[in-house]
Amino acid sequence: MVMNNMSAVDIRHSLALLISVSAALFSLFTALSFGAAETSLQDVFNSFLLSNEASFNTRIIYELRMPRTLLAFLAGSGLAIAGLILQTVTRNPLADPYLFGISSGASFGVVLLMALAGISAGFMLSAAALLGSLLAMGLLILIAGRQQSAQVESMLLAGVALSFLFSAFTSLLLYWSDPQAVAAILFWTLGSFARAQWATLWLPLLVITLCTFVMLSFRRQLNAMLLGDESAITLGVRVQRFRILMLVLSSLITAVLVAMCGGIGFVGLMVPHIVRFFISQGSIAGLLVTSLVGGTFMVWVDVLSRSLLKNQELPVGVITAAIGSVFFLSLLFFRKRKV
C-alpha cells in the first residue's frame, strides 16, 4: 500500500513535468506566429523546414522572432531558477534575484556608460551592465562571505543596502544627464527582448544550462538548507561555503540576463511560489518544472508586450511587475483566509 502511495507521487511529478514540457514547447512554437507582421502557424512551420528559402515571413520568424522568443524563455527560466535558489538558501520567501542589488548594479553600469561616453545602444551597453552587476555581486559576497554567524540576515540587509546605494548613484547621474539619455535609460531598465540576436544567444544559454545543472546536482544540499543551518550541518553540508556558491551562481544568471534584457522583476519571486503550490520543490521534477514554467510565462509576457498595443512595444518589465503584484496581493489575501 505504501508502494502504491509512492508511485502516486511519482506519477504526479512526471505528469507535472510532462505538462510543463509540452506547455513550453507549445508556447515556444505558437509564440512565433504572433507579432506586428501577420504570420500563420504555417509560416512558422516553413521557417523550420526551409530556412534557406527566404520568404519575407519566414525570415521575420527566423531572424527576429526566434532568437527573441528563445531569449525570453531563457530569461524566464533563468530568473525562476535563480529565485528558487535564493529563496531556498536564505529561507526567505521574499528573496528574488533583484533583491540583492544585482540589477541596480547593472543599471548603474549602463547609466555610467551613457553619461560618460554617450553610448546608448549596442554591445557596450550589455558589457557595462554585466560589469555593474558583477561589481554589486562582488561587494555582496565580500560582505556575506566574512560573516560566520547570521549570514542570511547580513546577506539580505547588505543586498538591500547595496541596491539603494547603486540607485542613489544612478539617480545622481540621471539628474545631470540630458532628457534623451534619461528616456533611453528608463526604457532599458524596464526590460525588453528586442535586442535578441542569434549571435549573442549562446551566453545566457551556456550560463543558465551550467548553473541549472550544478543546482540540480546539489539539490539534496539545497533541501537540507530548508530545514535550517544547524540541521544542514548535521547532514554534512558546509553551509557557509555552499550558500556563497549558490549566491554566485544565481547572481551570474541574473547578471547575464540583466545585461541582455534589462530589468525584469517579479518572475524570480513569483514562479517558484506558484510551482510550490502544486508540487514539492524537493524533487528534481520541482526544479525542472520551476524553470519550464518560468520560461513559458516569459514567452507569453513577451507575446503580450509585442501585441497588446498596435505598432508599439510595451516594456516587458511593466507587464511582469503588473501581473506579479496582482498575483502577490492575491496570494497574501488567500493566505490570510486560510489561517
Partner 1 sequence: MRCLYRFNKPTEGVIEFNNTDIWQLKSDEYAKKVAVVLQETPSQFNLSVFDVVALGLTPHKSLFSSITNIDKQEITQAISTVGLADHSDQSFESLSGGEKQRALIARAIVQQPQLLIMDEPTSHLDVKYQIQVMELAKSLGVTVFASFHDLNLASAMCDELVVIKNGEITHIGTPSEVLTENMLGDVFGVCAQVNNHPQISKSGNSIPHITYFYGYE
- Closer by beta carbon to partner 1, 1 or else 199: 1
CB of 10 to partner 1, least distance (A): 9
Cα separation, 150 vs 157, whole angstroms = 11
Q: How far is CA 216 from CA 122, 207, 221, 292, in A?
A: 34, 14, 10, 14
CB of 65 to partner 1, least distance (A): 36
CB of 307 to partner 1, least distance (A): 36
Grid coordinates belonging to 221:
544540499
CB of 237 to partner 1, least distance (A): 7
H or E element: which one contains 101? none
> C-alpha dihedral over 219, 269, 93, 259, to 10 degrees?
70
The site for partner 1 (CB under 8 A) is made up of 1-3, 5-6, 8-9, 87-88, 91, 93, 217-218, 220-221, 223-224, 226-231, 233-238, 276, 280-284
CB of 217 to partner 1, least distance (A): 4
- Closer by beta carbon to partner 1, 197 or else 280: 280
- Closer by beta carbon to partner 1, 12 or else 119: 12
Residue 263, C-beta contacts closer than 8 angstroms, at least 6 positions apart: 98, 103, 106, 107, 189, 190, 191, 317
Q: How far is CA 186 from CA 30, 66, 120, 287, in A?
A: 30, 26, 11, 33
Cα separation, 315 vs 308, whole angstroms = 11
- Closer by beta carbon to partner 1, 118 or else 282: 282
- Closer by beta carbon to partner 1, 122 or else 236: 236
CB of 232 to partner 1, least distance (A): 9
- Closer by beta carbon to partner 1, 57 or else 87: 87
| Nearest Cα to Cα of residue 79 among 301, 297, 294, 326 | 294
